[in-house]
Structures are given as C-alpha cells and as structure tokens.
Amino acid sequence: MIKDTQLLKKFEDTIMKKEGRLSFSYSMRIFESLWNEGIKLGILPPKKPLEGIEVDIKIAQVLNSCLKKSSQG
C-alpha cells in the first residue's frame, strides 16, 4: 500500500522528465515481470477472479460519475 502519494507522484514526475514516456514493449516487460513475481509469491492468478467484481463495478461507476461532473464544471 502506498502511504505517501505525494512522494510517489514526485518520483514519477522525476522519472518522466528524465526518461520520457515508457514504450509499450518496455511497459509490457514490466507488467510481465510483476505478473511472474505474483505467480512466484502465489498470489496470481487469483483463485476466484470475479470475486468482489460487484464492488469494483460500483466504485468505477462512482468514479466515472465524479469525473463527468468535474469536467462539466
């Protein structure tokens, strides 16, 4: 869990300025490495991939409605 989001944002901004946007292939290599790490730790793939999907959908609906409202104002 990320506790200091401001520090993470600053880190991301610094990396973006220094290295620019990541290419798709590099992003995929990062994703695959993280996925493989999750497999080694035994947490991926999820045993019940759709468990909790209703909550995720409701959160997405709320966030999307907030986005629409904030872009109108």
pTM, 2 dp? 0.54
Q: What is the pLDDT of residues 23-51, one digit of tens each?
A: 999 999 999 999 999 999 999 999 999 99
pLDDT at residue 29 in the model:
97
pLDDT at residue 32 in the model:
97
Q: Report which DSSP code applies to 23.
A: P
pLDDT at residue 2 in the model:
82
Measured from the Cβ of residue 2, the count of other Cβ atoms closer than 10 Å reads 7
